[in-house]
Amino acid sequence: MRLDRQRLLRISALMTLLALTLMAWSVLVPRPIPLVLFMTLGQVVGTASFIVFILAILIDLRRAKVLARRDAP
């Protein structure tokens, strides 16, 4: 599957929203289940969304020829 910047950014945005929702739930309802979900699943999803965002930036930089391919002349 071709990595498309826009698609990656949309995926990253959705994952970030999910992580933020878990965080907000744990703040509004400070009980064990919301807190543990935020501190485990929320952290994983949030970190993954940021990695996807970085990937989109790298693709964008390569596209703008700021980052050259290794095999480029």
Partner 1 sequence: MGEAPEISRLLAPIALSFAVLAGVILGTYLVRRPALTGAVKVWLFFGIGVLPICAALTGNIGGYETSKSRAFCASCHTMTSYTADAADRESASLASFHSRNQRFGNESCFVCHQDYGLFGSVTTKLTGLRHLWVYQTRYAGGRQVKPGEIELYRPFPNGNCTQCHSTTLPGFSDEPEHGAVAEDLKSGAVSCATEGCHGPAHPSPPGAS
Cα(11)–Cα(49) distance, integer angstroms = 8
Among 3, 36, 67, 68, binds partner 1 (CB under 8 A): 36
Q: What are phi and psi of 40, to 5 degrees?
A: -115, -75
Cβ–Cβ under 8 Å, residues 56 and 12: yes
Look up residue 71 and give its DSSP letter: T
12 binds partner 1 (CB under 8 A): yes
Residue 31 or 70: the one with the smaller Cβ distance to partner 1 is 31
Given the rule CB under 8 A, which residues bind partner 1?
Answer: 5-6, 9-10, 12-14, 16-17, 19-20, 23-24, 26-28, 30-33, 35-36, 38-39, 42-43, 46, 49-50, 53, 60
